Amino acid sequence: MSQSPTAPQSGAADAFSIRSIIAPLLAVIVGMIMVILDSTVVNVAIPKLVDYFHTDLKTVQWTVTGYTLALSAVIPLAGWMTDRFGSKQIFLITIALFTIGSVLCSFAQTPEQLILFRVIQGLGGGMVSPIGFAMVFKLAPPNKRGSIMGMLGVPMLLAPALGPVLSGWLVEYVSWHWIFLINLPIGIIALLLGFRFLPRSERQPSTHLDYIGMILAPIAFAMLAYGVSEGGTSWTSAETLTGLCVGGGALILFIFVELLQKQPLLELRVFRSSDFTRGILLAWIAVIALFGAILLIPLYLQNVMGYTPLKTGLILLPQALASAVGMPLSGRLFDKFGARPLAMAGLALISAALFVLSQITQDTGLGTIITALVMMGFGMGLTMMPLNTHVLNSAPRQWVTRVTPLTTAAQQVVVSFAVAGLTGYLTSRIQDHAAKLGAQGPSAAASTAGFGDTFFLAACIAVAGLLLSLALRKPKARPVSGEPDAAAEPKPDPAMMAGH
């Protein structure tokens, strides 16, 4: 039976320590690592999959597109599912579904089977992050949220860096099947830890299901993701325009419907909070600058400098390690000073790193590139988790399960547009430089100059974020809908941390 945690006595609240939350935190981390790793490993294996299945790149690319569409479609449903059935139960079900999908992928005999099984993975993986974030956020007392969310963020930054290294090694020396099979032991561990240590969560059987929103949200986010994905080939193609028009139209209808609902699928009323709006806009700007550049750096190392995927992954490791150092530090500092000084420092480092990368030439040494990557990684560690925690702190606590799917779904769309936009800009700049140089195709000099221009654009975006960070302030604790003052929000009971 699901049981709602009771408010602890003051003594229990005072006795809270981060050690009491380690076990449930570890359960969430293992599950999230599995999903994040998988989002990066397949890209490295695409050339191998094309050869293995004797098919074309466009067909195999649907293993990524199908996964992304499924991911985008289910994210908005996470809030209602957890309210209705309990966060622990849904978290375990999604981990199990993702693990089953991974095993099926490893046994795929045709590209069509692989695409189908990747969709199953996406249906499971889409809810893991928003549910995991919401559970950890609710378990953490207000004065420790920065530190605890910082601990959660470390593996989230390490996993994308380790993914290409692991995938490159498995594809090169073992078999592509193992980029999926490796999720089996990780998934089993996540299930065992979650079943044993995740706390019992409250169910709300009377929770109303927003049927119209449930239909519109998957259409909106999945079609937008599809349109942006197709835009990487041509922004004027029928597929791109159909995806963007249908997705955009569904999104407008979805917003209108949600604002009229008493129990909406995604809680859009949270944008009435200026603290929330400023925080999420700044997070989106940081994501555009960061994730666009993060995608481009491996392309530069492989396509221009000629490194293998495995060596590229190893070159990127210092960036991940710097992030791993910065994130727990930023968590502790966030609890004392709030998000503004950390966002300012982090975005200043990111801007400087991207400016250094914008000056690359064919003679630029690897040491300069790694130095810039370390700066960017540390800046990322200082910036991202404080901003995410600031955004959640700006929302009423009872809305958290509906806000985390909102922020996750929106970030998914923003990242897609950032990657597609910067990739398109890169292509046009390389073509312009090739024309100026009189080259028949994209020469190394033209490619290097094009990458430099694109890094400079990303640096300008980061500078815009730096200026916006001046407007951040600590969210005021405020009650809503008759809720007791948020400032008096009880701390979690250590006795509830063990779960059952």
256 within some domain: no
248 within some domain: no
364 within some domain: yes
Q: Which string of b and e fits 87-113 if b means at least 16 CB within 10 Å?
A: bbbbbbebbbbbbbbbebbbebeebee
138 within some domain: yes
Predicted pLDDT of residue 438: 74
DSSP run (H or E) holding 355: helix 340-358
The domain that contains 195 carries what CATH number? 1.20.1250.20
109 within some domain: yes
How many Å apart are CA 134 and CA 480, to the nearest integer? 19
Q: Is the CA virtual torsion 261, 262, 263, 266 positive or negative? A: positive
Yes or no: say if 320 and 161 are a contact pair by the CB < 8 Å rule: yes
How many Å apart are CA 277 and CA 297, to the nearest integer? 30
What's the total number of domains in the chain?
1
134 within some domain: yes
- The residue segments making up the domain with residue 363 are 10-210+261-496
Instruction: Return per-residue pLDDT of the chain as tens, 500 residues.
Output: 344 443 344 444 445 666 778 889 899 999 988 988 887 778 778 878 888 898 887 788 788 878 888 888 888 888 888 888 888 999 999 999 999 999 999 999 999 999 999 999 999 988 898 888 888 888 888 777 777 887 787 777 777 777 778 887 888 788 899 999 999 999 999 999 999 999 876 666 556 777 888 888 888 888 887 887 777 667 788 888 998 999 999 999 989 988 888 888 788 888 888 888 898 999 999 988 887 677 788 888 878 888 877 788 788 888 888 888 888 888 888 888 888 999 999 999 999 999 999 998 888 888 999 999 999 999 988 998 888 888 888 888 778 777 888 888 888 778 777 877 787 788 888 888 888 877 565 578 888 899 999 999 999 999 999 999 998 887 665 444 444 344 444 444 333 333 43
DSSP secondary structure letter of residue 441: S
Q: Which string of b and e fits 193-215 if b means at least 16 CB within 10 Å?
A: bbeebbbbbebbeeeeebebbee
CA distance to 146, 282, 293, 357, 476, per residue, from 345 (Å): 16, 14, 19, 19, 23
366 within some domain: yes
Predicted pLDDT of residue 490: 42
* Residues belonging to the chain: 500
435 within some domain: yes
Alpha helices in 54-199 (DSSP H): 57-74, 78-85, 87-106, 111-125, 128-139, 145-173, 178-181, 183-197
Yes or no: say if 282 and 465 are a contact pair by the CB < 8 Å rule: yes
Predicted pLDDT of residue 164: 75
The torsion region of residue 480 among left (phi > 0), alpha (psi -120 to 50) and beta comes to beta
Predicted pLDDT of residue 303: 80
